[in-house]
Amino acid sequence: MLTAITRAVSRAFVNCELSFIERQPIDLMKARLEHLAYESMLETLGARVISLPEAPELPDSVFVEDPAIVLEEVAIICALGTESRRKETPTIAAALETFRKLTYIKLPGTLEGGDVLRVGRKIYVGVSRRSNLEGIGQLGVIADAYGYELTAVPVGGCLHLKSAVTLLGENTLLANRAWFDWNKMDGFEWVDVHPAEPHAGNALQIGDAVRGKEFNLERLDISELQKAESGLTCSSLLFETRE
């Protein structure tokens, strides 16, 4: 069964961390309504949603993608690249331990799930402000033990690798190739974002989204969440569970 772990928007959300965009006023109620619509869409698309309660003291805690990486065999709990966010990991680990064996990235290595794009048995990891070579190396050791191939991809101009590129399905990637070294990612077909929409490289793929060149699209307004450097993938941890 497809399972999605989410977490309610914190009342401290307006104090979120920012790296690449200017701070704007955030309407907390609108952000919460957008997140509820997001969870509803996940359920409509067949996911069982496990919604964790608000963490009122942790502004960025709605972005559950960053504290963990879930593979079929194991869940990797990350050492987040921003110190203020590291208190997010214990509750994510507790939610995941029901479903997966846990292993941990350890400081001084840093790693965030937003930098990790998995395509089958290949894992691409952004070398970014949030994920360093030490953390990526630790992930590489874990991934190799389970038969995954890891490639480090330099990122510039955005927060995470998946801010710039995400999987649409099969062998097709949606991307803003100006923001990362796409030459490190061989053998893919590319759908390039329009120059007027540089942040459009982040899409959330569920099920068989690509059939030839046809796409099944569902649209969500996350304009308020985006003021915190969010993309669609940021607000959920998606994985298959074995009943």
3-state secondary structure of 67: coil
- In whole angstroms, what is the distance from residue 191 CA to residue 45 CA? 23
What is the domain range of residue 166? Answer: 2-240
- In whole angstroms, what is the distance from residue 137 CA to residue 128 CA? 14
Give the pLDDT score at 213: 56
Give the pLDDT score at 215: 72
CATH number (domain holding residue 86): 3.75.10.10
Give me the DSSP letters along 193-221.
PPTT-TTTT-----SS-EETTEE------
Tokens 């998995």, located at residue: 118
Domain count, the chain: 1
Give me the DSSP letters along 8-27.
PPPTTGGG---SSS------
C-alpha torsion 149→152→157→160, nearest 10: 50
Positions of the chain with pLDDT lower than 50, given as ranges = 209-212
